[in-house]
Chains A and B, each alone.
Chain A
Amino acid sequence: MSGYPTLRPQPQFSKTIELPKGPYGVPDSMMHGFQASRVAADLTQAHPLQASEEQWLDHKLKMDFVMLKNSQGIQAPLKLKMEHFAASKMQRLPCLNSSNLMADILSGREELIGFEDILNNPAESEVMGQPHAMVERRMGLL
């Protein structure tokens, strides 16, 4: 039986973090907010569940793909991953919130209600970035 991932997502102990580039080589708080300069916060965990929660969905999909590969061969996860990749491209502009309907259907989340639909639902987020700045950043003009 080839490489099943762990039952629960484990914290990644080595991670490359790239500092967001700003003028003069320091993270730009005006553009990205205070969180950008607190890059070291990413390395340590404030709560034992933090890493597990961030990776939960990805980890579940990884586990499903490994099981699928072991039972049906590599073609099954390849096809499904291609569909996931296509679904991830169907997004709105960066400042707006996308419904991710196709991605939810593919991963099975359309039939589930979790805490991510009740608490801190991104659709009800109180902050929004400026559209121009965010699109410029995505296109590399900033």
Chain B
Amino acid sequence: MAAPCVEPAKGGFSFENCSRNARFEQMGLKFPKAYKTGTTIAGVIYKDGVVLGADTRATEDTVVADKNCAKIHYISDNIYCCGAGTAADTEMTTQMISGQLELHRLATGRAPRVCTANRLLKQMLFRYQGYIGAALVLGGVDSTGPNLYSIWPHGSTDKLPYVTMGSGSLAAMATFEDRFKPNMTKEEAMKLVRDAIAAGIFNDLGSGSNVDLCVITKDKVEYIRPHEIANAKGVKQGRYLYKRGTTATLSSDVKKIEFDVIGTEVKTSAQPMDTQ
């Protein structure tokens, strides 16, 4: 606005175009679909920590937009978060909460807890009443032990030993309900999460490509990307380019391009100056 007495905007979301968009929709204009991660994400608590798993497909309505996107986001050194829903929303939400948690850590001087991250996420998502489409699986190990939360877009959370979210969550949950037991070993837990994500990949159209895993224990984090390439792109069987001479040459004509030499430059190799 180029007026002399313009008031500055307050910051945050701007609702200037909402009524214009509503009018466009009434007139019949179709909006572009958001880049969603129709997804399978899952998490499990085992003896020493937490295993988080995710597939790697991002869709845009019915087209695969990204064959290998990373859905396990960093929140802090001991806390990671998988995100399902609108890809931009999960990305920005987890980055903001990561920043807030870091500020909180600097202010309190203590290692962050998973319940703090959960509270921050839940309060932010409730504030926006579900318009931020981010369904998250938050897991980490802090001073109280391994913790796993699932967070829904409207702001409700659950603290559970095994959770799944996303469009493939039913397939993954079926695997968990069948084979979960408390205090598993690391190999059993990784196999279980891998099987759950694979169930989502093969039975849900919105999930696909590879399985990513993230194993969080008290001392270290293993971010295994990819853990398994479940859907490899096919390798071409032969060379399909045309051989030279396939197209017959009828006639050929060589024309010389005339050019003038404008200038010449002689470059010597750079020699260090003789300083004392």
**A residues lining the B interface (CB < 8 Å):** 8, 29-35, 41, 46-50, 52-54, 56, 97, 111-122, 125, 127-130, 133-134, 137, 142
B10 adjacent to A122 (CB under 8 Å): yes
CA distance A130 to B2 in the complex (A): 10
Closest 6 CB pairs of A and B: A116-B11, A33-B3, A46-B18, A133-B4, A116-B12, A46-B19
B100 adjacent to A113 (CB under 8 Å): yes
B3 adjacent to A30 (CB under 8 Å): yes
Q: Main SS of chain B's interface residues?
A: loop
Contacts of A8 in B (CB 8 A): 127
C-beta contact mask, B1-16 vs A, less than 8 Å → 1, else 0? 1111111111111111
Q: Does B129 touch A at the CB level, under 8 Å? A: yes
**Sampled A-B contacts (16; CB under 8 Å):** A30-B4, A32-B6, A35-B1, A41-B19, A47-B18, A48-B129, A53-B15, A112-B100, A113-B99, A115-B13, A116-B10, A120-B13, A122-B10, A127-B6, A133-B4, A134-B5
CA distance A30 to B9 in the complex (A): 19
The residue in chain A whose Cβ has the minimal distance to the Cβ of B16 is: A46
B104 adjacent to A31 (CB under 8 Å): no
CA distance A133 to B104 in the complex (A): 42
A130 adjacent to B4 (CB under 8 Å): yes
B119 to chain A, nearest CB (A): 13
B11 adjacent to A49 (CB under 8 Å): no
The number of chain B residues with a CB under 8 A from chain A is 30
Contacts of A35 in B (CB 8 A): 1
**B residues lining the A interface (CB < 8 Å):** 1-16, 18-19, 22, 92, 96, 99-100, 103-104, 107, 127-129, 131
B5 adjacent to A133 (CB under 8 Å): yes
Contacts of B127 in A (CB 8 A): 8, 52, 56
CA distance A111 to B108 in the complex (A): 11
Known interface pairs A46-B22, A56-B127; A31-B8 also in contact (CB < 8 Å)? no
B15 adjacent to A111 (CB under 8 Å): no
The residue in chain B whose Cβ has the minimal distance to the Cβ of A36 is: B3
